[in-house]
Amino acid sequence: MARPGAACPPPARRLLAAARALLFWALVYGYCGLCACIAGLRLLWSIGRRPGETFRRTVRENPPACLNDPSLGTHCYVRIKDSGLRFHYVAAGERGKPLMLLLHGFPEFWYSWRHQLREFKSEYRVVALDLRGYGETDAPSHKENYKLDCLITDIKDILESLGYNKCVLIGHDWGGMIAWLVAICYPEMVTKLIVVNFPHPSVFTEYILRHPSQLIKSAYYFFFQMPWFPEFMFTVNDFKVLKSLFTSQATGIGRKGCRLTGEDIEAYLYVFSQPGALTGPINHYRNIFSCLPLQHHEVTMPTLLLWGERDAFMEVDMAEITRIYVKNHFRLTILSEASHWLQQDQPDIVNKLIWTFLKEETRKRE
């Protein structure tokens, strides 16, 4: 008889690991099925109420003027040698200045950083990227091309293609996930890390399994595992879901925030209404469960985490837990009246907090 506390023999360990894996994937696909059923019921309800409106889509052939606003910077492209992919980005500030690289979330694109492009170009070469599969950046057709390893390598390759070996890295939402991982895998390339409304990935994976409330808020992670149906649901009622994400009382920017203008909303609708424009972004999520949890965790550079307390998708408790994974100066600021779309919701406050963090670290280094 095995002594209490003795290690399980190898066959028992393998059996336990297999049982855990089975339970994990049963949870993933079971919840995916539940989310699909709920989405299907919503679709049927919409068809029953307004069948004509449900499948109506406006053709958007020309981009709104705000996407070509010269005050935001210059539209540029870079082709990565190894992957062969062409990336689109908007750059502001003089070449040769320190690089500030901005990674957007979902469902966004470079334009979500418009306030930061204007603000930081005085001292930085500010580059707002369209991530792989988004906007004018190339979108590989297979979901395997969107594994986290590929997304992390993209940032490393882009940095080198721009002629830099390090940067201030800023990420929001899914871009925040990528920013954390780049900081973990390539710490020598990140002088300072700033993340907006996304916890350390290890915190996220551990927290979601222990808190059903966060599991419900992250239902779209599971729904996105399905082929084609999530993309279709975004198009219903002329992209009503997309508009609601930014404008509704539940998930949008609050009444005290800097609300998106009609032209801002039209910019999002233009980008994501193009043929196939949603598949690449959603493919980012279709590999997530095979890539987490992480093997390496620690972040070693100074880190600023900004959080909108009214985030409808991420519980604020994860922000404080993130502290344990940062083995350097860590600053957390939670804005009580702000939403998930923090850098667009409270741009003046966010920009001021970033400036303070950057200057503070400069003084400490000197």
The domain segmentation of the chain, as residue ranges, is 65-210+287-359
Give the H or E element holding residue 267: helix 262-272
Does residue 364 or residue 284 have the better pLDDT? 284
Beta-strand pair 190-196/167-172: parallel
- Per-residue pLDDT at 6: 47
Catalytic residue among 88, 104, 340, 345: 340
Give this prediction's pTM. Answer: 0.91
- Mean pLDDT over the full length of the chain: 91
Question: What phi, psi does 74 have (nearest 5°)?
Answer: -110, 135
Catalytic residue among 264, 285, 311, 325: 285
The fraction of the chain above a pLDDT of 70, given in percent, is: 92
Quick one: average pLDDT of 287-301? 80
Q: How many CB atoms lie within 10 A of CB 157?
A: 17
**pLDDT tens sequence across 61-99:** 999 999 999 999 999 999 999 999 999 999 999 999 999
Quick one: average pLDDT of 142-146? 95
Give the H or E element holding residue 331: strand 330-335
Distances (CA, A) of 71 to 52, 78, 119, 265: 40, 21, 10, 19
Q: Do 274 and 166 contact (CB within 8 A), yes or no? A: no
pLDDT above 90 (res 177)? yes
- Per-residue pLDDT at 5: 46
Name residues whose C-beta falls within 8 Å of residue 287's C-beta, 6 or more positions apart in sequence: 143, 144, 146, 147, 148
pLDDT above 80 (res 9)? no
Integer Cα distance of 299 and 168 in angstroms: 14
- For residue 285, indicate whether it is catalytic: yes
Integer Cα distance of 274 and 242 in angstroms: 14
Domain 65-210+287-359 has CATH 3.40.1280.10: no
Quick one: average pLDDT of 104-125? 98
Does residue 209 or residue 304 have the better pLDDT? 304
What is the strand order of the sheet 330-335 is part of?
74-79, 86-92, 125-129, 99-103, 167-172, 190-196, 303-308, 330-335
Name residues whose C-beta falls within 8 Å of residue 289's C-beta, 6 or more positions apart in sequence: 24, 25, 28, 225
pLDDT above 80 (res 29)? no
Nearest CA-CA partner of 214 in 203, 227, 224, 225: 203
Confidence of residue 54 (pLDDT cuts 50, 70, 90): confident
Catalytic residue among 154, 173, 311, 345: 173
Quick one: average pLDDT of 30-56? 84
Q: How many CB atoms lie within 10 A of CB 265?
A: 17
Confidence of residue 361 (pLDDT cuts 50, 70, 90): low
- Per-residue pLDDT at 358: 97
- For residue 264, indicate whether it is catalytic: no
